[in-house]
Amino acid sequence: MSVKRFRPAARTGRTVLFMALMAALVLATGVPIASGTWVSGFETMLVSQHTDGTAGDEDSWEGRCSDDGNLVVFTSEAGTLADNDDTPADVDGERDVFLRDVAAGTTTLISAPRAGAAENDRGSRDPDISDDGRYIVLFSGQDFVASDTNGGQDVYVYDTETDAWERLDITGDGTTSPGDDIWDTRISGDGSAVVFEAREDLLPEDNANRDVYYYDIAGEELKLISEPRAGGTQTTRGSRDVTVSDDGRYVAFLSGQDFLASDTNGDQDIYIRDMETGDFEIAMTPVPVEDDTWDIQISGNGRYVVFTSENGDLSDDDENGWDRRDVFVYDRETEETMLVSSPREDATQWDRGSRDPVISDDGRYILFLSGQDLVAGDTNGLQDVYLKDMVSDIVMRIPVTIEGTAAGDDVWDFFMSGDGAWFGFTGWGAYFAPGDTNRDDDVFIRQIARPVADGAARLAGENRYATAIDVSEKTFPMGADTVVVATGANWPDALGGSALAGAVGGPILLTTPDALPASVKAEIVRLGARDAYILGGTGAVSAAVENELNAILPGYVTRLGGLDRYGTSRAVANRAIELLGPDFDGTCFVATGKNFPDAIGAAPLASGLGWPILLTPDGTVYTPADMEKAVILGGVGAVPAALETSLKTEFGNDMVVRLGGATRYETAAMVADYGTDNGMLWNGVGISTGQLFPDALAGGAALGLERSVVLLTPPTSLHAAAQAKLTENKDDIDAVRFLGGTGAVSAAVEAQVKTLLGL
């Protein structure tokens, strides 16, 4: 029953799922504009199905996913989701917990009976999963370990790597069941703690009411989160809706108790408790949130708390009254409560409610369901799924049905990957995804294409180093775990960096060979980066730069270099594939190592689709063990026909594609077309010079993270190949980015592009 998946050692960057990581991006400046168009190119997928595609024969719900969205746990009463789901009670609709590997398309029964167990016919529910997908918590009446002889229900943690079960000693005596009045078991992102809600009196200090608890797994200790305050006047009231930060330190919940002497309102409030210090903190809304509050969730970083409330006094912008639910977020750092579902000016459905919010780890993205028309294009008068970027204030409507129609009220129980790239839900009806034919409740998941501000923007600095910084600042306004550092003096070592940047979800920053520029160092500090990859040997990026990076980064600095540019290309590709793990689909680019244009045109695809770039000196190229398909960049003058023949012999004729035009500009246009055929988007297209490498390298990697492609052009006039592609696809383009200053892409080219696109 082991679930196989890759977890890179000593890596803090977020992984890429399927073909792309949708990292946090808004690459435009100025006033953000909310786009009302539907997002295309992404499909809702059925999670609650057998590996062979068989639909469930009963309801499924309670979906939760790993940090990258690839692994989804859920509860189901169906008996058709796994071949070994043969417990007798399944005939009666007993609940089980399953795990779906989205990339692999496999479904595993987690709560499978133990051989020799006395309680094989009982159910399991309330699953949750750690960030890396290793640990799954659930509540079950089965005895998954031989020492469980109490005949009752217990909280268990399952290790998917070792197949080991651990029964949490909730009662402290090793034998007693905590009873059946336990709900909402949640595990911290790092797998260190489990929180839950209970009506049982599990500790002496329990107030005989509904309470929220915290179990320290390593310390094997149960703690009452909602511990009454000595001298408190509201010590007998209940607490609910508990949620925990990724590091297990902060928990947020709703309670009518007064855990602080300053809480004299006599009503219910949202509290945050620091489990390290024991201190309580109240979400400082203007008034108590009261009992008409639900869906509380703390962000992975512990800074933000999102919730639904009917209290119309929490924000001056809340104009739809007390009888309508709205979504709010509380910022612990600024002590500010913000209305997320704020009405749009000129909206026709402004007086309808919103609910079911979920939040990304960094707090930037909040997804929710709303009956309001929060974008101008929403004219269906029904409830829709919305995503709000709290940095840019852009709101985007997301389709979830096969036909792209409104979700209606048939969706609930949302969940989101930590990186904000995927979201899931429970839905009823056979119109969300192909294969959903059972007319039962099912669990679904889909990718999120991020909001891109409409209009034109230029990403530029006074030189190539400053341009890379500008790209980083606009791409990662809330920071990044890992940076990729390459020399800005030459191109060969840096070409492979795009796929690596996509794999770690971080920017490419440029450095001079002998010293790390102060501005680059400042950007790394601003990002809050922990780790870094250096591309190339010490001749490209000196040991002095490596020492400077080690001095400012708390994590690891890893150099990926070979004896020459081809050895470096091999090392970088191997590491990108290693980091991508099961998300690598086997496709690699093959480009000449004698020049850069063909490779920089593919930079967005390398980053966004996870396709490493392999450099060839002539008629040979290194092919990684996991490689299954080659996409050759450039004509036979760049990559010889003999190498194409060799690759076809190795992988098969259908697994080798050549994208080569008469010029670098035509090749880039062909690559962009190929990218959009494979999941990339024309919206947000980048325009870069084809005569220099730095701007397209750093900017292209960033474009790929939001799945936009790039077109190359000479500096002073728009090339005909780029013009043709822009004209052909202008109906799909509401945003364009110019990479580099006017010396790289002139003001005349910018004006021509904007006129052509009507921007």
DSSP string spanning 564-630?
SHHHHHHHHHHHHHHHHGGG--SEEEEEESS-SHHHHHTHHHHHHHT--EEEESSS-----TT--EE
| pLDDT for residue 415 | 97
Q: What is the pTM of this model?
A: 0.72
Is the residue at 130 inside a domain? no
Domain that holds residue 519: 455-757
What is the pLDDT, as a whole number, of residue 585? 87
What per-residue confidence (pLDDT) applies to 1? 31
Question: What angle, 0 to 180 degrees and rounded to 10, lies between the N-to-C axes of helices 464-475 and 694-705?
Answer: 10
Q: Is the CB of residue 289 less than 8 Å from the CB of residue 283?
A: yes
Q: Who contacts 399 (Cβ-Cβ below 8 Å, separation ≥6)? A: 38, 39, 385, 405
293 in any annotated domain: no
The answer to the question of residue 284 being in a domain is: no
241 within domain boundaries: no
Q: Is residue 737 part of a domain?
A: yes
pLDDT of residue 329: 96
Partners of residue 665 on adjacent β-strands: none
pLDDT at 493: 79
3-class DSSP assignment, residue 286: coil
Cα(257)–Cα(271) distance, integer angstroms: 10
Structure tokens at 178: 């905590």
426 falls within a domain: no
The answer to whether residue 470 is domain-embedded is yes
Q: What pLDDT was estimated at residue 119?
A: 81
The DSSP annotation for 722-754 comes to HHHHHHHTGGG-SEEEEES-TTTS-HHHHHHHH
144, 168 contact by CB (below 8 A):
no
pLDDT reported for residue 438? 85
Residue 507 lies in a domain: yes
Among residues 446, 448, 443, 437, the alpha carbon closest in space to that of 47 is found at 443
User: How many domains does the chain divide into?
Assistant: 1
Beta strands 587-592 and 613-616 are parallel
Provide the pLDDT for residue 93. 54
**Ranges under pLDDT 70 in the chain:** 1-42, 86-93, 320-322, 430, 449-451
